């Protein structure tokens, strides 16, 4: 789906928050189990450590932490809808979002999940844009939260080194044309003919055909990024910061090279967070803010690829946020989540 440019009800990024669990897992820990070296993992993935949930931490815990932080960053606690993008919901039913909304003091607002794996944040942003552009909402909380370590086989060398856990969230609001933080059109796509290339069968661990996923990821990320830049009225030379989903450092390098984006314009966080699924783009943005690599008005291109197969991209001018907030992943006190 490649939308054209639109002028009605611009949607603006108003808040950014993150939540990360407490356990750091280093390459040595994984390498000893798999019988490979720390350097082997770095060379294949670009990852030196990843952060994972300990026992008892749920996807909802991650999402609540990130959502609360994003609301704090936005300077206003009210929203009209909560959209949670997750591939690891706590239950088949109910969805994670209503529980998250209630724990955030937002009971009564529309709340639902979006399932698009590592592309989930961009799918959820498109939903939020639709709510705002049609007048159904003024402000929407979009959360991406996953604990992929829960479905990762610790003895599988193709997946065990890759995945971390975490959550990140945006608050988006109705804005004015030309103000910093306006989101461009979101380009989305899927191809279920290759769904079995990256899959979690019911009751089993993740299964991935790594070479096939790599090839599809590079192709689709390049296509979607090019389309999103064009839909925003940019050339790729206009892109000041490129933020791809943090799947694998080799994928990022291949995509940047094909797009002609210099590596100094690419933002990454995979080295110490691993692949955090749908949260990775927003976590990388927060990491860049913390290290002074983003400033208001910069042209930023976001792109993601995930299971499904799914992919997407969008563009925005970076917003002068109130700040990027971080929250811990506190276990729920509500009876139904114990």
Q: What are the CA-CA distances from residue 283 to residues 108, 121, 129, 150 (Å)? A: 28, 11, 21, 20
Which pLDDT value is given to residue 6? Answer: 43
Helix, strand, coil in percent for the chain, rounding step 5:
40, 25, 40
Query: So what's the pLDDT on residue 328?
Result: 61
Three-state DSSP class for residue 266: strand
Average pLDDT of 28-41?
92
Percent of the chain with pLDDT over 70: 92
In this prediction, residues 42-55 reach a mean pLDDT of 93
Structure tokens at 29: 């820990």
Instruction: Report which of residues 6 and 186 the model is more confident about.
Output: 186
Segment 264-306, tens digit of pLDDT: 999 999 999 999 999 999 999 999 998 889 988 899 999 999 9
Using 50, 70 and 90 to split pLDDT, how confident is the model at 329? low
* pTM of the predicted protein model: 0.91
Which class for 263: exposed (0-12), middle (13-18), buried (19 or more C-beta within 10 A)? exposed
Q: Cα dist. 23→49, 116, 223 in Å?
A: 10, 26, 36
Q: What is the pLDDT of residue 5?
A: 45
| pLDDT at position 304 | 97
Q: Which residues does the annotation mark as catalytic?
A: 118, 245, 275
Tokens standing for 141? 């909380």
Q: Quick one: tokens of 193?
A: 């003919």
**Contact yes or no for 189/221 (Cβ under 8 A):** no
By the 8 A CB rule, do 163 and 149 touch? Answer: yes
Would you state the pLDDT for residue 253? 96
Distance CA 15, CA 26 (A): 31
pLDDT tens column, 144-194: 999 999 999 999 999 999 999 999 999 999 988 778 788 999 999 999 999
Residue 335: predicted pLDDT: 31
In 3-state terms, what secondary structure has residue 286?
Answer: helix
pLDDT of residue 9: 76
Total residues belonging to the chain: 338
| 98-156: pLDDT as tens digits | 999 999 999 999 999 999 999 999 999 999 999 999 999 999 999 999 999 999 999 99
Query: Is 314 in contact with 228 (CB distance < 8 Å)?
Result: yes
Domains within the chain, CATH numbers bracketed: 1-330 (3.40.47.10)
Hey, is 16 helix, strand or coil?
Answer: strand
Give the distance from CA 287 to its chain's centroid: 13
DSSP output for 81-112: EEEEE-SS-S-SSS-HHHHHHHHTT-TTSEEE
Separation between Cα atoms, residue 252 and residue 221, nearest integer Å: 9
E strands of the chain, at which residues? 11-19, 23-26, 49-52, 81-85, 110-114, 139-147, 165-174, 187-190, 198-199, 207-208, 241-244, 299-306, 310-317, 324-327
Count CB neighbours of 204 within 10 A: 10
Angle between helices 280-290 and 120-133 (to 10 degrees): 90
- In this predicted structure, what is the pLDDT of residue 337? 28
Residue 319 is predicted with a pLDDT of 82
Name the region of 185 (left: φ>0; alpha: ψ -120 to 50; beta: rest).
beta
> What six digits make up the tokens of 14?
């108003």
């Amino acid at each position: 789906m490649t939308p054209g440019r639109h002028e009605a009800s611009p949607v603006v990024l108003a808040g950014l928050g993150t939540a990360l669990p407490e356990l750091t897992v280093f390459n040595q820990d994984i390498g000893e189990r798999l019988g490979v070296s720390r350097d082997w993992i770095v060379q294949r993935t670009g990852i030196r450590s990843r952060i994972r949930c300990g026992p008892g931490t749920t996807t909802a815990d991650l999402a609540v932490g990130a959502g609360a932080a994003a609301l704090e960053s936005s300077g206003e606690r009210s929203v009209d809808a909560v959209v949670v993008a997750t591939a690891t919901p706590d239950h088949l039913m109910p969805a994670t979002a209503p529980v998250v909304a209630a724990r955030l003091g937002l009971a009564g607002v529309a709340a639902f999940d979006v399932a698009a794996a590592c592309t989930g944040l961009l799918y959820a942003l498109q939903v939020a844009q639709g709510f705002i552009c049609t007048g159904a909402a003024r402000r929407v909380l979009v959360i991406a939260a996953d604990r992929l370590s829960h479905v990762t086989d610790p003895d599988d060398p193709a997946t065990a080194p890759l995945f971390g856990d975490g959550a990140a969230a945006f608050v988006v609001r109705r804005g004015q044309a030309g103000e910093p933080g306006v989101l461009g059109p979101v380009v989305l796509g899927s191809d279920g003919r290759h769904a079995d290339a990256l899959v979690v069968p019911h009751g089993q661990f993740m299964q991935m055909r790594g070479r096939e996923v790599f090839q599809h990821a590079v192709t689709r990320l390049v296509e979607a990024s090019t389309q999103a830049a064009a839909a925003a009225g940019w050339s790729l030379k206009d892109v000041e910061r490129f933020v791809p989903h943090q799947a694998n450092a080799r994928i990022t390098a291949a995509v940047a090279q094909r797009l002609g984006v210099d590596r100094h314009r690419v933002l990454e966080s995979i080295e110490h967070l691993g692949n955090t699924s749908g949260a990775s783009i927003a976590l990388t943005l927060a990491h860049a803010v913390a290290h002074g690599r983003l400033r208001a008005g910069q042209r930023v291109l976001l792109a993601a690829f995930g299971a499904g197969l799914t992919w997407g991209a969008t563009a925005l001018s970076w917003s002068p946020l109130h700040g990027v907030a971080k929250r811990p992943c506190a276990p729920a006190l509500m009876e139904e989540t114990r």
